[in-house]
């Protein structure tokens, strides 16, 4: 039994309230029916109460034994069999009550059954069928209420987790970027001002524009180009940086802040080193219902860890985000061949 079912059987259902309302309404209907819609007399109350008892018992057996044991477990033949047995047994019980038992309980009154066996069978069938449908409808309403609450709670938990992951990314990126600004300032370069402006554009995107469930590829490309432009202030002349863009639909949307950590780590691990070896290659491709992002960079042989320095915030957060936002509609491939580290990420439209 899952959490929603536990809540339904526990805090949401009120069997006493349900039955109190149900049988109070039925009692009033039967009372005025048996009294031919005249002012009820004492004998009418006794007859109605006695008749109702013979109905309450099979209905409760059906609602709380036969339906849970057989119908809800999809044992339909056994459900039908016991449903019919229940009707026939208490049809006969009703006849026995009004032909024999009630005279001993109320000797001052004379009672007879108003209905024949076929009529009673039809009445019991209608009561058991009607109350079954009513109970199933009540269960369905409560189940959907509980399920909706669970979905809302789960969505809130997901949003909190995503916000937490973003909060981990932002300080990490800001720390690296401030190091670049600091290095430019130490050298008194005139480009320091331009670098600050570019950094502010990137930070504006991270802090404000990324606080949404999806961003367009047009926005994401602009972010990456600003970031790459900013990072050029720390690269060497011999560094090779390629950004290939092939997008059919700029309005194709993806979850924000998936790609920037990959590009950031590529600059961190792919640029330092020998000038003739340094390179970063980025493919940004969207065709039809698929978006493909591939990034490669050089890593030196003494880089710690098999992931070329990606084992920290970068890949860990990326994997967590993908598990939450693209649980079944993404492909992530991470490779290291000699001194080349590559990440290939595919996202599919129906994840949005």
| pLDDT exceeds cutoff 70 at 171 | no
Do both 219 and 313 map to the same domain?
yes
Do both 219 and 308 map to the same domain?
yes
Question: Into how many domains does the chain fold?
Answer: 2
pLDDT in tens, 229-242: 888 776 655 568 89
Do both 211 and 134 map to the same domain?
no
Do both 80 and 205 map to the same domain?
no
- Between 175 and 325, residue with greater pLDDT: 325
In a domain, 174, yes or no: no
Do both 101 and 230 map to the same domain?
no
Do both 325 and 247 map to the same domain?
yes
Q: Please tell me whether the overall predicted TM-score, pTM, comes out greater than 0.75 for this model.
A: no
Q: What is the pLDDT of residue 250?
A: 92
CA angle 26, 32, 37 (to 5 degrees): 150
Q: What is the pLDDT of residue 164?
A: 61
Do both 139 and 7 map to the same domain?
yes
pLDDT in tens, 173-220: 677 778 878 888 887 777 888 888 888 888 888 777 767 778 899 999
CB proximity list for 121: less than 8 A, separation 6 or greater: 87, 88, 91
CA angle 320, 209, 311 (to 5 degrees): 30
Domain enclosing residue 9, as ranges: 3-150
Segment 145-166 shows an average pLDDT of 67
Q: How many other C-beta atoms are found inside a 10 Å radius of the C-beta of residue 195?
A: 22
Do both 229 and 345 map to the same domain?
yes
In a domain, 36, yes or no: yes
In a domain, 178, yes or no: no
In a domain, 52, yes or no: yes
Q: What is the mean pLDDT of the chain?
A: 80
Among residues 150, 175, 201, the one where a domain terminates is 150
pLDDT classification of 6: cutoffs 50, 70, 90: very low
| pLDDT exceeds cutoff 80 at 136 | yes
Do both 84 and 213 map to the same domain?
no
In a domain, 55, yes or no: yes
Q: What is the 3-state secondary structure (H, E, C) of 219-277?
A: HHHHHHHHHHHHHCCCCCCCCEEEEEEEECCCCCEECCCCCHHHHHHHHHHHCCCCCCC
Q: What is the pLDDT of residue 248?
A: 94
In a domain, 171, yes or no: no
| Range from 72-76, 228-232, 262-266, 313-317 carrying the lowest mean pLDDT | 313-317
Do both 118 and 212 map to the same domain?
no
Do both 110 and 206 map to the same domain?
no
Strand partners of residue 295: 282, 343
Among residues 150, 180, 208, the one where a domain terminates is 150
Do both 227 and 324 map to the same domain?
yes
Residue 214's CATH number: 3.30.565.10
In a domain, 20, yes or no: yes
- Between 143 and 306, residue with greater pLDDT: 143
């Amino acid at each position: 039994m899952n959490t929603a079912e536990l809540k339904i059987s526990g805090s949401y259902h009120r069997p006493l309230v349900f039955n109190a309302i149900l049988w109070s309404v039925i009692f009033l209907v039967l009372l005025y029916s048996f009294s031919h819609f005249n002012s009820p007399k004492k004998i009418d109350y006794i007859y109605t109460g006695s008749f109702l008892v013979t109905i309450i018992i099979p209905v409760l057996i059906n609602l709380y034994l036969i339906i849970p044991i057989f119908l809800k477990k999809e044992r339909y033949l056994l459900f039908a069999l016991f449903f019919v047995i229940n009707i026939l047994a208490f049809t006969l019980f009703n006849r026995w009550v009004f032909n024999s038992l009630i005279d001993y309980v109320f000797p001052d009154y004379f009672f007879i059954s108003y209905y024949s066996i076929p009529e009673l069978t039809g009445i019991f069938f209608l009561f058991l069928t009607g109350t079954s449908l009513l109970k199933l409808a009540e269960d369905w309403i409560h189940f959907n209420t509980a399920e909706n609450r669970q979905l809302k709670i789960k969505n809130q938990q997901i949003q909190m987790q995503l916000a937490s992951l973003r909060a981990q990314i932002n300080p990490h990126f800001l720390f690296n970027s401030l190091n670049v600004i600091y290095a430019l300032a130490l050298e008194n370069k005139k480009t320091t001002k331009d670098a600050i402006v570019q950094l502010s554009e990137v930070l504006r995107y991270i802090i404000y524009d990324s606080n949404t469930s999806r961003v367009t590829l047009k926005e994401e490309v602009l972010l990456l180009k600003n970031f790459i432009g900013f990072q050029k202030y720390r690269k060497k002349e011999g560094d090779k940086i390629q950004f290939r863009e092939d997008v059919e639909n700029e309005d194709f949307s993806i979850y924000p802040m998936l790609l920037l950590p990959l590009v950031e780590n590529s600059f961190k691990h792919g640029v330092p080193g020998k000038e003739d070896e340094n390179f970063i290659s980025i493919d940004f491709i969207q065709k039809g219902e698929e978006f493909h992002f591939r990034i490669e960079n050089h890593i030196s042989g003494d880089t710690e860890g098999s992931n070329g320095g990606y084992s920290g915030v970068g890949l860990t957060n990326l994997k967590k985000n993908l598990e939450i936002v693209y649980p079944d509609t993404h492909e992530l491939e991470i490779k290291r061949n000699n001194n080349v580290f590559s990440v290939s990420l595919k996202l599919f439209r129906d994840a949005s």
